[in-house]
């Protein structure tokens, strides 16, 4: 049960929505359930309920919701929609900004995340993976998340942000704690821990900023702190924090969700064992089939129309990309994980338009190499007991994923 003080805190955080969330009526509504239920929830039947109401429907909060691929795609790309002013956590930088502020920051950091720049991380990613898998116990169950899927993106993003080795463990702890906010604030104690974490992360970043001001290198943090005013001083920590969280909380789930989809469809796993060069395709279909980010939302900034549906300025629409990825109008037999699907890349898992995931190339590279390594090293990999899902329904993935890797 939630204490009165905690409820007050949550109300302040979520505004009027919090009062509505506790009403029994809303618990029965598919959209409200999506936002309320713990991560153990299977969202896909709820998406189908939403789909059966029409291409766009109203939520009990008065918002719009859609799982329609064409409408999601158009809304995300439209200039008549932006990210809302009332974003819950202002510290998430680019994601909370509209042009021109968004454009100013995004232009500065985009070159550091291009396919070409990111390609330079290939040897580093391979080395990290080799180091991780050498500790995998043979025959005994192990947790794929904590042993492989989580430490890889953590190591890569720490590298990218220039975190000194001495701070790496502490940084990983704080990053994981901070990222837990994406699953929703669980209690007052959780909120207090987050505040302390935020403070400590800001201190760690301040130390790195200092170093990069004195001795700039060719990295993204040097560009941020020596940008001649393009990045305002108060924007530096939030921008780096976003890069950190985005790097920590998503790729781990892409690796986990794709391995789960493959092991649950043994014919697909065997196909990959025989042709590990299909790993990138398997990841692309993993993105479509069970997206690590399940939804986002946009605010209409003008009266407009999308696919014949009128919107008024100020209307808010939830674009449920996890549902759009299973739109039968775009994907044949959408609930099937199919390595050979020829249009898996039409998924919306990296969103679209100006907020299209900055880290998409990095996520694809890390997850592709990880999956190829896993399938090559452990062709007999098998599920080993019940999995525990992460709390919250925005980010979809596993907290613990027990598997076994018998010698072949």
Identity of the residue, 91 or 187, whose beta carbon is nearer to ligand HEM in the bound complex: 91
Long-range contacts of 267-271 (CB under 8 A, 24+ apart): 268/337, 268/338, 268/339, 269/375, 269/381, 271/339
Of residues 75 through 134, those in contact with ligand HEM by CB under 6 A are 94-95, 106
| Cβ at position 239, least distance to ligand HEM in Å | 8
Run of H or E including 263 = helix 251-264
When asked if residue 256 is in the footprint of ligand HEM (CB under 6 A), the reply is no
| Helix, strand, coil share of the chain (percent; to 5) | 55, 10, 35
When asked if residue 240 is in the footprint of ligand HEM (CB under 6 A), the reply is no
Single residue of 59, 180, 197, 250 touching ligand HEM by CB under 6 A: 250
User: Chain-centre distance of CA 174, in angstroms?
Assistant: 17
* Segment interacting with ligand HEM, rule: CB under 6 A, options 133-141, 242-250, 308-316, 331-339: 242-250
Of residues 289 through 348, those in contact with ligand HEM by CB under 6 A are 291-293, 296
> CA-to-CA distance for 189 and 344, rounded, in angstroms?
42
Identity of the residue, 30 or 238, whose beta carbon is nearer to ligand HEM in the bound complex: 238
* Segment interacting with ligand HEM, rule: CB under 6 A, options 136-144, 183-191, 240-248, 333-341: 240-248
Return the closest-CA partner of residue 285 out of 222, 339, 336: 339
The 354-383 site mask, x for binding ligand HEM (CB under 6 A), equals -x-xxx--xx--------------------
| Cβ at position 97, least distance to ligand HEM in Å | 7
Of residues 37 through 76, those in contact with ligand HEM by CB under 6 A are none
| Cβ at position 47, least distance to ligand HEM in Å | 16
Q: How many residues bind ligand HEM (CB under 6 A)?
A: 24
Sign for the CA dihedral angle at 245, 246, 249, 251 comes to negative
Identity of the residue, 304 or 349, whose beta carbon is nearer to ligand HEM in the bound complex: 349
Are the C-beta atoms of 43 and 396 separated by less than 8 Å? yes
When asked if residue 148 is in the footprint of ligand HEM (CB under 6 A), the reply is no
Return the closest-CA partner of residue 307 out of 25, 77, 128: 77
**Phi/psi at 139 (nearest 5 deg)?**
75, -40
In order of 102, 160, 200, 208, 328, the CA distances from 231 in angstroms are 11, 18, 21, 16, 43
Identity of the residue, 250 or 268, whose beta carbon is nearer to ligand HEM in the bound complex: 250
The contact set with ligand HEM (CB under 6 A) reads 94-95, 106, 157, 242-243, 246-247, 250-251, 254, 291-293, 296, 349-351, 355, 357-359, 362-363
């Amino acid at each position: 049960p939630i204490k009165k003080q905690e409820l007050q805190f949550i109300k302040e955080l979520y505004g009027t929505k919090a009062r509505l969330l506790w009403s029994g009526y809303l618990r029965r509504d598919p959209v409200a359930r999506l936002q309320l239920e713990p991560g153990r929830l299977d969202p896909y039947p709820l998406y189908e309920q939403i789909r059966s109401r029409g291409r766009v429907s109203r939520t009990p909060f008065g918002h719009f919701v859609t799982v329609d691929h064409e409408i999601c795609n158009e809304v995300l790309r439209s200039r008549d929609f932006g990210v809302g002013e009332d974003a819950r956590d202002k510290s998430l930088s680019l994601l909370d900004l509209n042009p021109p502020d968004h454009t100013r920051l995004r232009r500065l950091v985009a070159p550091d995340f291009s396919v070409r720049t990111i390609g330079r991380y290939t040897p580093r990613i391979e080395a990290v993976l080799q180091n991780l898998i050498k500790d995998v116990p043979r025959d005994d169950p192990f947790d794929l998340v904590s042993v492989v899927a989580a430490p890889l993106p953590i190591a890569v993003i720490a590298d990218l942000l220039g975190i000194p080795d001495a701070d790496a463990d502490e940084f990983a702890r704080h990053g994981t704690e901070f990222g837990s906010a994406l699953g929703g604030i669980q209690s007052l104690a959780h909120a207090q821990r987050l505040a302390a974490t935020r403070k400590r992360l800001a201190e760690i970043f301040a130390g790195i900023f200092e170093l990069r001001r004195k001795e700039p290198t060719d990295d993204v943090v040097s560009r941020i702190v020596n940008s001649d005013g393009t990045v305002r001083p108060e924007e530096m920590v939030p921008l780096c924090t976003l890069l950190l969280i985005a790097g920590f909380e998503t790729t781990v789930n892409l690796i986990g969700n794709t391995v789960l989809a493959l092991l649950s469809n043994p014919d697909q796993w065997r196909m990959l064992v025989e042709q590990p060069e299909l790993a990138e395709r398997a990841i692309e279909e993993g993105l479509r089939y069970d997206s690590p980010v399940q939804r986002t939302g946009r605010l209409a900034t003008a009266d407009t129309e999308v696919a014949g549906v009128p919107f008024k300025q100020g209307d808010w629409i939830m674009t449920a990309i996890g549902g759009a990825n299973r739109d039968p109008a775009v994907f044949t037999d959408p609930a099937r994980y199919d390595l050979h699907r020829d249009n898996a890349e039409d998924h919306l898992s990296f969103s679209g338009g100006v907020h299209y995931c900055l880290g998409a190339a990095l996520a694809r590279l890390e997850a592709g190499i990880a999956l190829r390594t896993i399938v090559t090293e452990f062709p007999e990999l098998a599920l080993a007991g019940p999995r525990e899902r992460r709390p919250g329904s925005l980010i979809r993935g596993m907290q613990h994923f027990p598997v076994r890797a018998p010698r072949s």
